[in-house]
Amino acid sequence: MEVAPRSGCAINAAVEVLGDPWTMLVLRDIMFGNRRHFRELVAGSEEGIATNILASRLKRLVEGGLLTRDDARRGQRAMYSLTEAGIQVLPIMAALGTWGLAHRDGEQRLRVRAELLRDGGPELVDAMMDELRELHLGIPRPDANAPRPSEQLAAAYEAAMRDAGRDSA
């Protein structure tokens, strides 16, 4: 059930789907945290998303064509997957992260992903999109032997956590 946008402006149409902060954070957690189930998204939310807000945003993302929801059989959990439209939000996330690095303060451990995406440039973003396509759409990565961007992001985060531990000791 897609709602008609307020105007025919492409920016308006995108903002109507992506303009809510919780929506972007849910997409972030699915993209970068591989959180695909409701409980994982609640438990892993750095910002503490409420269950009613999460349920609303997941429903809107499915209706907006950015996620699919695989209905669970009895005794199983429903799983959310990115669509191609959802995967193509990644460069927007990278741009938002770069802007945030330049104009906002934050904890180092939480800035690592944005720094890596900024420094890795379009090649890393493209490789991450390929990895998301493999994970969510079942489309093999063009170079199956290439390093996984998610592993690079995880290693950078773990290094930042170790550094933060040494700094606080």
CB neighbours of 137 closer than 8 A, spacing ≥ 6? Answer: 81, 82, 83, 84, 87
User: In one letter, which amino acid is 26?
Assistant: V
Closest among 130, 132, 152 to 142, alpha carbons compared: 130
Tokens of 81: 């997957």
What's the pLDDT at 26?
A: 96
| Contacts of residue 140, Cβ cutoff 8 Å, sequence gap at least 6 | 134
What is the Cα–Cα distance from 46 to 59, expressed in whole angstroms?
21
* Cα–Cα distance for residue pair 44/24, rounded to 1 Å: 15
In the chain the domains, ranked by start, together with CATH numbers, are: 10-83 (1.10.10.10), 89-168 (no CATH)
Confidence (pLDDT) at 169: 58
What would the two tokens of residue 137 be? 């759409």
Digit-coded pLDDT (tens) for 87-104: 999 999 999 999 999 999
The model's confidence at residue 7, banded by pLDDT at 50, 70 and 90, is: confident
Token code pair at residue 99: 């802007």
* Cα–Cα distance measured from residue 39 to residue 29, given in angstroms and rounded to the nearest whole number: 12
Confidence of residue 145 (pLDDT cuts 50, 70, 90): very high
* Burial grade of 55 (CB within 10 A; 0-12, 13-18, 19 or more): middle
Residue 60 reports pLDDT greater than 90: yes
2: which residues sit within 8 A by CB, 6+ positions away?
63, 64, 65
Tokens matching residue 74 = 């009895």
In tens, the pLDDT along 108-127 reads 878 888 999 999 999 999 99
Q: Which residue has the higher pLDDT, 4 or 29?
A: 29
